[in-house]
Amino acid sequence: MDDKDRLYQFGMGENFHAQHYFGAHPKGEGYQFRVWAPNARDIAVIGDFTNWTAQPFSLEKNEAGVWEGVIPEAKTGQLYKYLVTRHNGQQVEKLDPFAYYLEDRPSTAAILRPFSEHKWKDGLWMGRRKRFGFKKRPVTIYEVHASSWKKGMTFKDLTRELIPYLAKMNYTHVEFMPLMAHPLGASWGYQLMGYFAFEHTYGTPEEFQEFVDTCHQHNIGVIVDWVPGHFTQNDDALAYFDGTPTFEYQDSDRAKNVRWGALNFDLGKNQVQSFLISSALFWVEHYHIDGIRVDAVSNMLYRDYDEGPWTPNVYGGNRNLEGYDFLRRLNGIMKDRHPDVMMIAEESTAATPITKDLEEDGLGFDYKWNMGWMNDILRFYESDPIYRQYDFNLVTFSFMYCFNERFVLPFSHDEVVHGKKSLMHKMWGDRYNQFAGLRNLLAYQICHPGKKLLFMGSEFGQFLEWKCDHQLEWQNLSEEDQLNQKMQDFTSHLNQFYKNHKALWQNDETYDGLEIIDADNTAETVLSFIRKDDKGDILVCVFNMTPVERQNFTIGVPYAGIYEEVLNTEMETFGGVWKEHNPQMRTQAHQWKNYQNTLSFTLPALGASIWKIKRKLKK
């Protein structure tokens, strides 16, 4: 494809590798520059090669509103910016929207450097990913903020320390909060300025490529958060780039994001679609990432989602028609080119089908964060057990809709910050009971249908809530009572347990993989259900939500046989008080609800007990 075709397709919203045309690229002995700014009065390049503002190099504008020119004096490693003369004569220095490299914060100059090609060694992983996909595979995600897992680390350090930790903890995937360039660390990366630039605080693009490559060699997938709905309003970034609405909406009410102090992309503009879809494909293709979590989907779907004034669409409704069409198009293009890449939506409403196929008028995402489940279950586990019998529906309601969409069950960063307390601190009771509650909670998450996500620090029961400018409380692991260390060991064991049992993930999208035994035992506040794999092998999952041990506890089971307990969250090695598992138990031929067989055992206080059939018996 020649430059004329690339330019035409950009204007039509069809150039999905726009970074090859725009930005700065080697040309002869210098560099060629291109930037889209249709309403600018003039654009010049300033940088090390022009003595900055002393000798700006003016670009020429073509018929499509793109300014371009070749600067022979520009050399690799030098810094540059665009000096934009807006339509009103105001001059402002702007970063290059298509830059691959930016200098350290708070400066925003781009660095002249071609994107280096990595010699990938992950062919085996990529082949398996293409062959097996992810829907009938175990997915348990460790969510990480790159600069606060351990303070001051770059991805070179994380390759050395985080990857062995992920392997030790038996996670299948790691998910990073946004790694694209952002001007303020306190935004956690959710107000971006560089959609192709790697955040320099975290190291270099090459270090991140090496990190992903090494993850794949250790059978760990990598997911990255991406923010196509809104961007930072800083004047040296994308905001009103040429002095008029360029990347943002023409309507100031729609352009302004009151809630987050940001600007919303005009998702109906062809050039913006080319820009954003190019960014998504760039991260998938140049970094080999295995999934994209699209942030704040509700903000792109509904005109009234924000706190500011809004106007109805042409049909009188609140749907953002442009945002809806953009998300469908994004997923269609991604799935056409990379069907084995996981597309995940962070979305908090139920008004739009998120994971239904495009042909069924859905958005075409693979998964949606189950925010309703997360809010209900945390509210339940925060409550005093004496009152839980009255709120048991908070635990059981999700079984009514758990297959309406394909879900990820998230305990994410949003739930352990801004005064919400850490996951462990949310739990009821003294220190011992808080850890018991947390083990119970994570076991429930593992057994409930849906993929799993846990934010860093929760795996070992960190007590203090997360702060983006502090590292995790790793010193907790050396506490004298060893409860944090045992919690960490439990999470590692639980993740491996999940991977080892196909019943927990192989049939994860229909009621064929789930059978409720008893969701009505509010008096004892005990929930029991069965998970099944494709061959009909089962796990019997029983959860005691109160700190009362239930001896000779009885439930119905579908098969006569000898059952063995394969997980008990109250084992001493995990921080509990049980020294031995329940003994193997033989079923009794008794009627119990719709079951012809019963299983009786001791149910640990505030504990989970999971059973499988060791040997089936004839009735």
Catalytic sites, residue numbers: 295, 346
Amino acid at 32: Q
C-alpha distance from residue 383 to each of 175, 309, 576 (Å): 30, 37, 21
Give which of 606, 593, 611 is closest to 550, Cα–Cα: 606
- The H or E element containing residue 254 is helix 252-255
Q: How far apart are CA 608 and CA 444, in angstroms?
A: 8
**Alpha carbon of residue 582 to chain centroid:** 38
Short-list 400, 267, 366, 363, CA closest to 322: 267
- Residue 589 burial class via C-beta count within 10 angstroms: exposed 0-12, middle 13-18, buried 19 and up: exposed
> H helices of 309-422, where?
321-337, 371-382, 393-396
CA distances (Å), origin 606, targets 22, 379, 458: 59, 16, 18
Q: Please provide the size of the chain in residues.
A: 619
- State CA 340 to chain mean position distance: 16
Beta-carbon contacts of residue 490 (< 8 Å; ≥ 6 apart): 439, 442, 569, 574, 575
Cα end-to-end span (Å), the chain: 71
CA atoms within 13 A on the CB side of 65: 12
Q: 48 near 78, Cβ under 8 Å?
A: yes
CA nearest neighbour of 140 among 423, 369, 407, 451: 451
Q: What are the φ/ψ torsions at residue 210 (nearest 5 degrees)?
A: -65, -35
Structure tokens at 121: 């060694």
Residue type, 34: R
Which tokens sit at 236? 């040296």
133 conformational bin, left if phi > 0, alpha if psi -120 to 50, beta if neither: left
Residue 89: half-sphere exposure toward Cβ, Cα within 13 Å: 0
- Alpha carbons 424 and 414: distance in angstroms, whole number: 14
- Nearest in space to 43 (alpha carbons), one of 242, 244, 233: 242
**Whether the Cβ atoms of residue 175 and residue 143 lie closer than 8 Å to each other:** yes
Q: In degrees, to the nearest 5, what angle opens at C-alpha 61 toward C-alphas 60 and 66?
A: 120
Alpha-carbon separation of residue 574 from 211, 267, 542, 611 (angstroms): 31, 49, 18, 18
Burial call 337-369: b when 16+ CB within 10 Å, e when fewer: ebeebbbbbbbbeeebbbbbeeeeebbbbbbbb
